[in-house]
Structure 1
Amino acid sequence: MGFYHVSRIGVIRGFYSLLAALVERWRPKTHTFVLPVGEVTVTLEDVAHIFGLPIDGEPMSGWINNSSDFLQSQSIAIFGRKPEVSSSSKSYIKLGSVRRIRDAEPLDTESIRRKVRYSIFYLLGSTLFTDKSTAYAHAKYLPLLRDFERIHTYSWESACLAHLYRALCRASRYDTKEMDDPLNLLFVWAWERMPCIAPILRQTLPPAEIPVAMRWSYSERTTAWLLKTAARFRQDIDYIEEVNI
């Protein structure tokens, strides 16, 4: 199952300077980055290689209910207990509590299913569909976990890519100061395609096996790279002569 691969990917923290330089190149009308060598973008194939998720699957669709009754009833049906929610929005479940409960689950048959659901829900909020804080996940994903046998049949990859596109379009607005998106996906894609902005030389990394994000998860960033400004990243991008395909 693709989620097994994603669960082994470490969280790549956001780097504002690099993010700013990339967002400036994003064009909402075409959903592409405009570079000196032409227009490029993150594709479904990229998501498959970076996260190891399958391309095919059922579309993720449904209606959103922000009521506390919906949240509690879905949580009890799926996890067997009421959730810990955000103090500011009752539609968001605290991921810290999800992780703690997951780790405390025993290993009997039914508990293993709950443990898997907890793990997937945690990944949705911390990696695939992150918000600005990465501390909460929206309750709208709960119904997708209810039928245990169908969880692996959804096209999570397509939804993840659509989430990235939407987040980049929002971030490109002049009045937006923050961005919520799967930064692991965006940064690994940029480092693989544009080595000149990567934190370390690619040849020093393990082989690029799927999921590709694994080899970047725990790589050491040099102090010089961490101190690079948005202006320096812009300059690096301005002098790109080719993009790795």
Structure 2
Amino acid sequence: MGFGSVLLVPDQTLNKNLLEELMDRWSCERKGFELPLGLVKVTMMDVALVLGLRVTGESVVLEGDVPFLGIEKFYGSSVEKRMISIASLEKRLKSLDLAVNEDFIRTFLLFTFGTFLFPNAYGTVDSRFLLYMKDLDKVPLLAWGRAVLQDLIKWMDRRKEDENEKYMGSCLILLQVWSYEHIDIARPIVPECYAPFPRACRWQNSSYRFRQWFTTKFDGLNREQIIWKLEPTPEEKKVDIIFELLDLENDAVEVPSPSEHSSKSVIVVDDDNLTNGFTIPEDILECGVLEVDLTKQSVLVVEDDVDLLCTSKCATNNIIDSCKCAIDAIPQVPKVLQLVGLGYSVWFSYRYLIFKDNRGELLAKINELKKEIIGED
């Protein structure tokens, strides 16, 4: 059904202090973890590699006015409260015994959702998931991994915005293994594993540490301790869901014609964490939305929060050459921009640099651009 990788994940003990440290650094606005060296996000590739779940395909969306189905009533849900208790699902599984039929498959998937992939504070699972299980042949083709990530983000937003929120739902094993993969803090020993995929199979439980220990370690992070972007291994690239995601990312890169470039071009950047490790002229304000003007002093390109600064020393009349020069000048930058066309993926777009002398005018322009380009309010 597309969830076989979940069965491979070994027993894990959640590291509460590690998770709390991470979640306290979550930014609801920027949808990432604000570390001293920059913003790190949980990506679709991260989910696919860690849990082995499909992130491409039709979305699983539970919001909105979804008609109540008879099959929901069959599993104990109602129009007023579209929830199914985990206890009833467990009881139902025991009654089905070894009968592997459609009822067993739906019940087992709902039980998995409620206990591992989409847990909540109430010991229930949303019955609207059954809408996507009417035709079981379509279940493996849905983007379940994307739904898990959206659920995790929703819970982290809720926790950060409501100080009285005491419970954290969602798939915290994903977040914990994501931390091991990206950040070299409290990483357990990687065992010799019979199943290298998904990556959640690689990690044993970590040792207990006090909360203050984590705070100190995170505050003192250096660049060598962070992997900004996970790259699949040659073996992982052969896995269907990884291959499809890579193919989709490649298709998303658009190559504009040379006529689209001028001495004043615009390049995407990510929010306001722009200058770590580099120097930007004082007359440029760090606003997260930057206009590139080669008559000024610099060109700035950011990919996955890795900052590239091209100063006037290597600026040319061609913005592409300038950006290439910036990348060549910084040896620690990993595989980054596919510069032919100023694009790497659908996340790249056009934005502006703000200078002190016309800040008000350009701030107004920014709001227009956000709506036009990335749909932000």
Q: What TM bracket, shorter-length normalisation?
A: 0.7 to 0.9
- Check whether the contact 1:5–1:51 (CA below 8 A) recurs between aligned residues: yes
Identity %: 25
Q: Based on CA coordinates, which of the two structures has the bigger radius of gyration?
A: 2
Give the CA deviation at 1:129. Answer: 1.3
Aligned to 2:150: 162
TM-score by length of 2: 0.53
Aligned to 1:46: 46
Aligned to 1:212: 199
Give the CA deviation at 1:84. Answer: 8.0
2:210 aligned residue (219, 224, 229): 229
Give the CA deviation at 1:113. Answer: 2.0
Aligned to 2:184: 195
- Check whether the contact 1:2–1:54 (CA below 8 A) recurs between aligned residues: yes
Give the CA deviation at 1:43. Answer: 0.6
Give the CA deviation at 1:157. Answer: 1.2
TM-score by length of 1: 0.79
- Check whether the contact 2:51–2:199 (CA below 8 A) recurs between aligned residues: yes
- Check whether the contact 1:84–1:97 (CA below 8 A) recurs between aligned residues: no
Stretch of structure 1 that moved more, 147-156 or 207-216: 207-216
Give the CA deviation at 1:38. Answer: 1.5
- Check whether the contact 2:75–2:84 (CA below 8 A) recurs between aligned residues: no
Q: Does 1:140 align with 2:128?
A: yes
SS of aligned partner of 1:93: strand
Stretch of structure 1 that moved more, 181-190 or 13-22: 13-22
Amino acid at match of 1:8: L
Deviations 1:90-115 (A, max 9, x none): 4321223313322442656xx52222
Unaligned stretches of 5+ residues in structure 1: none
Give the CA deviation at 1:3. Answer: 0.6
Q: Give distance in 2, aligned partners of 1:182 and 1:163.
A: 8
Deviations 1:9-45 (A, max 9, x none): 2464544322221111111111111112211111100
Q: Does 1:83 align with 2:76?
A: yes
CA RMSD of aligned residues (A): 2.8
Q: Give distance in 1, aligned partners of 2:162 and 2:92.
A: 41
Q: Which is helix-richer, 1 or 2?
A: 1
- Check whether the contact 1:92–1:136 (CA below 8 A) recurs between aligned residues: yes
- Check whether the contact 1:50–1:212 (CA below 8 A) recurs between aligned residues: yes
SS of aligned partner of 1:58: coil
Aligned to 1:3: 3
1:74 aligned residue (68, 71, 75): 71
Q: For the structure 1 residues 191 and 118, does the alpha-carbon distance in structure 2 shift closer, same or farther, using more than 3 Å as the test?
A: same
Q: For the structure 1 residues 238 and 193, does the alpha-carbon distance in structure 2 shift closer, same or farther, using more than 3 Å as the test?
A: same
Stretch of structure 1 that moved more, 169-178 or 186-195: 169-178
Aligned residue pairs, count: 224
Aligned to 1:118: 107
Give the CA deviation at 1:231. Answer: 1.8
Q: For the structure 1 residues 201 and 129, does the alpha-carbon distance in structure 2 shift closer, same or farther, using more than 3 Å as the test?
A: same
Q: Give distance in 1, aligned partners of 2:81 and 2:215.
A: 40
- Check whether the contact 2:61–2:147 (CA below 8 A) recurs between aligned residues: no
- Check whether the contact 1:106–1:112 (CA below 8 A) recurs between aligned residues: no
SS of aligned partner of 1:53: coil
Q: Give distance in 2, aligned partners of 1:91 and 1:174.
A: 24
Runs of 4+ in 1 over 6 A off after TM superposition: none
- Check whether the contact 1:11–1:127 (CA below 8 A) recurs between aligned residues: no
Give the CA deviation at 1:7. Answer: 2.9
Q: Give distance in 2, aligned partners of 1:208 and 1:82.
A: 35
SS of aligned partner of 1:177: coil
Q: Give distance in 2, aligned partners of 1:40 and 1:208.
A: 27
Q: Does 1:101 align with 2:92?
A: yes
Q: Does 1:243 align with 2:232?
A: no
